[in-house]
Amino acid sequence: MLPAAVLYYWGANLNWLFYLQACVSGILAAFFAWLLTPDGNPWNLLENFQISLLANGIFTGLFIGFVSALPVLQNENRLVKAVGYWISATSVGLAINMLAAVIFTITGEVLVEHMLVSKSLLRFFWWVFLAVGMSLSFGILHHSFKIVCRSLMGLTPAFIFAGTLLDRFFIVEEQWFLSFLFVGLVCGSCFTIVWDLLKETWLDEDQSKLFVRRYYIDSPEFIFGGLNECDLSIDGLPENAFSIIEKEGIHYLEVLDDTQLIQINNSRFRYRTLIDGDIIKTGDRSFVYHSKLARTRDVLPEAVA
């Protein structure tokens, strides 16, 4: 009963909206990578260096870009902000992962030449290396080593699983488009599942709907306001309306503009400690604050039952 209860709780609370956004990101990245890659095996750096470098660089860069931009476009309805996120994230992803591919190729050729490792083992290390490069890209974008670790835990099994099936089926049949599509869907799925499972603090909006808008708070200060530079941009708010700040593991809400009415559980505060389940209201928008510790505490009795 315990595993079934845990799986039910996890499935009911998974951020399905972000899951779909990540899968769509994988599909879009796969399509454009396949479209822009010349004919040939795009998954073997040692034998097809130029083609593989281009293919892997485009795929990983676009995947990181779309994963960063699509939630902004759909949840905040800010086209300019989403385009800015896409450009910066894609640029970082391209730079980091293409550099990683070059380093891996040079190292791999030396190791194979001196028979230090077999090609099959080197193939395994390539998928891990690719996951590390993408995780570093996400960490750089979020300025957080914690994000690097969280991304790595999702992308490593994704690339190992997808890469194993690529070598056994898709590459043998030379199904290049399907191979891109498969890798994109697996990466999107694993990345989202682990990202959501390891979340620490977050806000949920529109809880009555099937697809809840979820905003992850992964920085020491999370700013709400009308500017595109804010972490969460809301139409009608002052440039910087209020923020959620973290001090020694505890989150506080601080109002930055007294002209804006901010309520917590229907009471107005300028500065207040946040507790799991607090409802933050501003205008016609409401957000429910959640923390990891409270969620862990609440699920245990339910799972045992």
pLDDT for 192-241, tens place per residue? Answer: 999 998 999 999 997 666 788 999 999 899 999 999 999 999 998 888 99
Residue 1 has pLDDT above 50, yes or no: no
Residue 295 has pLDDT above 60, yes or no: no
Residue 271 has pLDDT above 80, yes or no: yes
Q: Note the pLDDT of residue 236.
A: 87
Structure-token pair, residue 45: 């750096």
Q: Note the pLDDT of residue 117.
A: 75
Mean pLDDT of all residues in the chain?
A: 87
Encode pLDDT of 104-129 as tens digits. 888 888 887 777 777 788 888 899 99
Contact between 151 and 195 under an 8 Å Cβ cutoff? The reply is: yes
Encode pLDDT of 18-69 as tens digits. 999 999 999 999 999 999 998 888 988 888 889 999 999 999 999 999 999 9
- Alpha carbons 196 and 144: distance in angstroms, whole number: 16
Residue 300 has pLDDT above 90, yes or no: no
Domains and CATH numbers, the chain: 2-197 (no CATH), 202-304 (2.60.200.20)
**Which strands sit side by side in the sheet containing 263-264, from one edge to the other?**
213-216, 201-205, 285-291, 279-282, 263-264, 267-268
Q: Note the pLDDT of residue 208.
A: 63
Beta strands 213-216 and 201-205, pairing class? antiparallel
Residue 7 has pLDDT above 70, yes or no: no
Confidence of residue 73 (pLDDT cuts 50, 70, 90): very high
Structure-token pair, residue 273: 């400690």
Q: Note the pLDDT of residue 229.
A: 93
Q: Note the pLDDT of residue 202.
A: 94
For the residues 173-180, what does the mean pLDDT come to?
91
Q: Note the pLDDT of residue 207.
A: 63
Encode pLDDT of 134-170 as tens digits. 999 999 999 999 999 999 999 999 999 999 999 888 8
Q: Note the pLDDT of residue 298.
A: 47
Residue 4 has pLDDT above 70, yes or no: no
Q: Which DSSP state fits 198?
A: T
Q: Which residues pair with 216 in a beta bridge?
A: 202
Lowest mean pLDDT among 1-10, 160-169, 259-268: 1-10
